[in-house]
Amino acid sequence: MSTDPLVFGLWTALAVMTLATYLCRIAGFAMMAHVPMTPRVRRGLEALPGAIIAATLVPSAVKAGWPGVLAVIAAIAAKRILKQDIFALMAGLAVVMVLRRLGF
Amino acid sequence: MRLHNHPGRDIPPPMTAAPPPFGETQPRLSWAGFREGCLRVVPFLPGVIAFAAAFGASAVAKGFTLTEAVAMSALVYAGVSQLVGLEMWREAWTPAGLAGLALVTIAINGRMALQGASLHPWLAQHPPAVNYTQLAFLTDANWLIGERYRAQGGSDLGVLVGAGVFLWVIWVAATVPGVIAGRLVADPRLWGLDMVMPVMFAAMGAGLWKGRESIVGWGVAGLAALITWLVVPGYAYIVVGALAGAVAVALRPEPSSEQTP
């Protein structure tokens, strides 16, 4: 890899993420004058955040095995019951810690 | 007084001038509004601080220094994409790797485009220079604060900007304790720090879940992501799964809606 001239480091990657995120922040405002928001487009865009969460969550939980899957279930339960992200985080991480220390 | 009908809020109104009538179109951007925006951030603070600290701990687990972790929070300022970015992080980036990072970042933060679009009628009253600067601070919480404020009849853009800037300060500052706590942990895996991201997604997911209307989008996205993950190496599964879910919802026949509250 080190002989490849087209290799970039951390700060380039940070710049890419910064620029990509800024483009997202301004894109909707900038395009609003030109793109008609049909009900279909609107429904798709509204479904996008949940779809992103599901698409990220399912494989990453499965990757981590039983501790991962059970931690996710614990976090969802904690969030629904206690309504706070912090409790969901604590519950999920507690499940992972206990299961991994037990050798799972 | 248009701003101060929050239950449980007994602070004095920050604005002493007479409130303008509803539906005023005069652009307003004031320090009083900025302060009002900061105050409206307070209920969000516990969640934001916990999330930023979790990001800091995850960044340390990925080998980030304090400076690098704080820089990412300050520059990117978008928690979920920062955590997913960490998941994809590598020592050296090829152009293809950077393109993938950009694509995933855009896929995750694409919701900001919708939020920006919904703010357009309000923002359009102000000069482009103001908007293309203040939109750098657009995030879920200040968007929500701004939309609520507008729904209450408010028109001062300072509320949106103040909330965004204040949240940015908190986000950057709260990254630091996460980094320090993360360093105290010898084996991040035993403490579950590699699971912070999936667990936060689960928590946010549980909060965003809208019952039956969410089943199609989430189900298609999760399934498509799982299949893609099994077949294609790397992180393409996030983009493929998320787009599959959103397209599935968009292509559905018009819902015979107003049945679900």
Q: How far apart are CA A64 and CA A98, in angstroms?
A: 14
Q: Judge whether A17 is closer than 8 Å to chain B, CB to CB.
A: yes
What are the pLDDT digits (tens) for A29-79? 998 778 676 888 778 767 877 887 888 889 989 988 999 999 999 999 998
| Distance (Å) from the alpha carbon of B17 to chain A's nearest alpha carbon | 30
Which pLDDT band holds residue B29 (cuts at 50, 70, 90)?
A: very high
- pLDDT on residue B151: 80
Computed over every residue of chain B, the mean pLDDT equals 83
Amino acid identity of residue A5, one-letter, is P
Strand partners, A8: B93
Q: How far apart are CA B178 and CA B173, in angstroms?
A: 10
- pLDDT on residue B2: 44
Which tokens hold the place of A4?
Answer: 């490849």
- pLDDT on residue A4: 62
Interface touch B249/A43, C-beta < 8 Å? yes
Of the partner residues B102, B119, B223, the one whose CB lies closest to the CB of residue A20: B102
Place of tokens 């501790």: A67
- pLDDT on residue B160: 97
For B206, the closest chain A residue by CA position comes to A76
Yes or no: say if B20 and B148 are a contact pair by the CB < 8 Å rule. Answer: no
Q: What is the mean pLDDT of residues A14-26?
A: 97
Which pLDDT band holds residue B218 (cuts at 50, 70, 90)?
A: very high
Q: What is the mean pLDDT of residues B209-236?
A: 88
For A92, the closest chain B residue by CA position comes to B199
Interface touch B226/A58, C-beta < 8 Å? yes
Of the partner residues A7, A39, A92, the one whose CB lies closest to the CB of residue B195: A92
Interface touch A25/B112, C-beta < 8 Å? yes
Share of chain B above pLDDT 70, in %: 84
Q: Say if pTM beats, i.e. exceeds, 0.80.
A: no
Which tokens hold the place of A99?
Answer: 């299961």
- pLDDT on residue B134: 97
Of the partner residues A14, A45, A53, the one whose CB lies closest to the CB of residue B71: A14
Q: Judge whether B197 is closer than 8 Å to chain A, CB to CB.
A: yes
Q: Judge whether A101 is closer than 8 Å to chain B, CB to CB.
A: yes
Which pLDDT band holds residue A3 (cuts at 50, 70, 90)?
A: low
Q: Judge whether B143 is closer than 8 Å to chain A, CB to CB.
A: no
Q: Judge whether A98 is closer than 8 Å to chain B, CB to CB.
A: no
Q: What is the DSSP string of chain B?
A: --S---TT--SPPS--SPPPPTT--S-B--HHHHHHHHHHHGGGHHHHHHHHHHHHHHHHHTT--HHHHHHHHHHH--HHHHHHHHHH--SSB-HHHHHHHHHHHHHHHTHHHHHHHHHHHHHTTS-HHHHHHHGGG--HHHHHHHHHHHHTT--BHHHHHHHHHHHHHHHHHHHHHHHHHHHT-S-TTTTTGGGHHHHHHHHHHHHH--THHHHHHHHHHHHHHHHHHHHS-SSHHHHHHHHHHHHHHHHSPPP--SS--
- pLDDT on residue B6: 45
| B232 pLDDT more than 70 | yes
| B118 pLDDT more than 70 | yes
| Distance (Å) from the alpha carbon of A39 to chain B's nearest alpha carbon | 8
Interface touch B247/A44, C-beta < 8 Å? yes
Q: Judge whether B117 is closer than 8 Å to chain A, CB to CB.
A: yes
* Contacting residues for A76 by C-beta, under 8 A, at least 6 apart: A88, B202, B203, B205, B206
| B193 pLDDT more than 80 | no
| Distance (Å) from the alpha carbon of A48 to chain B's nearest alpha carbon | 5
Q: Judge whether A76 is closer than 8 Å to chain B, CB to CB.
A: yes
Interface touch A54/B102, C-beta < 8 Å? no
Residues 46-105 of B with CB under 8 A from A: 46-47, 50-51, 54, 68, 71-72, 75-78, 80-82, 84-85, 87, 89, 92-95, 98, 101-102, 105
What are the pLDDT digits (tens) for B30-74? 999 999 999 998 877 877 887 888 899 989 988 999 999 999 999
Of the partner residues A30, A44, A68, the one whose CB lies closest to the CB of residue B198: A68
Yes or no: say if B15 and B31 are a contact pair by the CB < 8 Å rule. Answer: no
Helix (H) or strand (E) segment spanning residue A95 = helix A85-101
- pLDDT on residue B25: 55
CA distances to B58, B68, B89 from B179, rounded to whole Å, are 8, 10, 17
